[in-house]
Amino acid sequence: MVGTELLLGEIVDTNATFLARNLADLGIDVFYKSTVGDNLERISGVVRAALRRSDIVIMSGGLGPTDDDLARETVSLVTERPLEENPGVLRDLKHWFAERYGQTPMPDQNRKQALFPRGSQIIPNPVGTAPGFWLEKDNKLVIALPGVSHELRTMFTETVGPRLSSLGSGQVLVTRNLHFVGIGESSLQEKLADLLREQTNPTLALYASGGTVRIRMAVKASTRQVGLGQMKDLEAEIRKRTKEYCYGADGQTLEEVVAQRLVEQELTLALAESCTGGLIAHRLTNIPGSSAFLNRGYVVYSNQAKAEDLGVDPATLEQFGAVSAETAREMAQGARLKSQTDLGLAVTGIAGPTGATPTKPVGLVYISLATSGDTIVERHLWKGTREQVKNRTALMALKLLWQTTK
């Protein structure tokens, strides 16, 4: 991946993710990824190293018209193929400029985009001005694509991917992800220790992020359907051991699973949010059709709002404080009774960085769920930024809903 802006963190490299995923689907193993700034010597060094250890090298970026766009020059230097102007590409460039800018001539600098190392095959760019190229030498392949994401994706999908498909192993990499909440990565690993130790094909890998854990199962197979079949028994065993924590697979989110259960059980919900400021409502209303179960949501940030909107007893607030099990309980019960819903879910806490006391530190949160027969209250204490505390609180509130509606 070529571009100083990538090294400076000015943009996120989504091209590498896209390419890796699509190459895996073609059965092409990706072993290395390099990022280098706009410097001819350093780019050349990276490409030389890549050609020594790999059969296929894909470059992203450096195909623009400016002096710091160096992909053409690099490949020309490394492969010892001189740059040659392609008349057809030059004609297309002039036509493109004429269509968009009328009588204004194309700047001479843009002629650079019609230069390619000798022997290159042009990769058309139907959505931009920078064509890519495909160059084979000494049983090695160099593919150069633009850094603009929508251009790279279009060119790969329409031209590069279909051509590379004939070079793959004849197998595809099939993956499936299982999602867990309420359990840490190390604890999950202990439950699955023998499966992780004995893995061959399929393989397993654990990843933790933001209060959830993901297990990626991967298998090489002749087709996706065959691969999913090979993972079926393994998935069943994992789910059997972790049924109280595994909430979904692949693209499923926790809020989607919660929404599905509420709809299936014809349950209605009211929310009372203090420290999350409406974040739980936001996540649930991202689900189409959420009006089928979500009646309303209260954002009650002040003690006055808690008392007036939810009926929290001022004496409770005075004696125990806004961040307490007692207040959370009355908030959940009040939201349920005021809204006449089946469930009332409430959160109150100290997101920080201010507001803590000697007995109530930043990250202290209470979550309460009121039903017709019971009211549950959970106490949590998390470290992190204000945003992290809010996100973790929303996640654990959804977890409580998910566990209660099983």
Q: Strand pairing partners for 84?
A: 116
Instruction: Give the list of residues 6+ apart from residue 20 with CB closer than 8 angstroms, or none.
Output: 30, 33
Identify the structural domains of the chain with CATH numbers, from first to last. Answer: 4-167 (3.40.980.10), 172-249 (3.30.70.2860), 254-404 (3.90.950.20)
Measured in degrees and rounded to the nearest 5, phi and psi for residue 400 equal -65, -40
Token representation of residue 144: 């150069």
3-class secondary structure, 259: helix
Per-residue confidence of the chain (406 residues) as pLDDT tens digits? 999 999 999 999 999 999 998 998 888 889 999 999 999 999 999 999 999 999 999 999 999 999 999 999 999 999 999 999 999 999 999 988 888 888 778 899 999 999 999 999 999 999 988 899 999 999 999 999 999 999 999 999 999 999 998 776 677 888 999 999 999 999 999 999 999 999 988 999 999 998 999 999 999 888 889 999 999 999 999 999 999 999 999 999 999 999 999 999 999 999 999 999 999 999 999 999 999 999 999 999 999 999 999 999 999 999 999 999 999 999 999 999 999 999 999 999 999 999 999 999 999 999 999 999 999 999 999 999 999 999 999 999 999 999 999 8
DSSP annotation of 2 reads: B
The tally of CA atoms less than 13 A away on the side-chain side of residue 83 is: 16
Tell me whether residue 116 is exposed, middle or buried, using C-beta atoms within 10 angstroms of its C-beta: 0 to 12, 13 to 18, 19 or more: buried
Determine the pLDDT at residue 305.
Answer: 98
- Name the CA dihedral angle for 352, 357, 359, 365, rounded to a multiple of 10 degrees: -30
Instruction: Give the list of residues 6+ apart from residue 285 with CB closer than 8 angstroms, or none.
Output: 294
Residue with structure tokens 């189409």? 288
Determine the pLDDT at residue 213.
Answer: 97
As a whole-number percent, the residues of the chain with pLDDT over 70 amount to: 100
pTM of the full structure: 0.77
Token representation of residue 196: 């992780």
3-class secondary structure, 253: coil
Token representation of residue 99: 């269509």
**What's the chain's length in residues?**
406
Determine the pLDDT at residue 24.
Answer: 82
Token representation of residue 68: 């710091």
User: Distance between terminal CA atoms of the chain?
Assistant: 46
Token representation of residue 333: 């019960």
Judge if the upstream peptide bond of residue 131 is cis by omega within 30 degrees of 0.
no
Q: Are strands 56-60 and 140-145 parallel, antiparallel or unpaired?
A: parallel
3-class secondary structure, 269: strand
Determine the pLDDT at residue 391.
Answer: 97
Determine the pLDDT at residue 311.
Answer: 98
Determine the pLDDT at residue 168.
Answer: 67
DSSP annotation of 172 reads: E
89-132 pLDDT, tens digit per residue, is: 999 999 888 888 887 788 999 999 999 999 999 999 999 888 99
Token representation of residue 290: 């959420």
Determine the pLDDT at residue 104.
Answer: 79
Determine the pLDDT at residue 287.
Answer: 97
- How far apart CA 306 and CA 330 sit, in angstroms, is 9
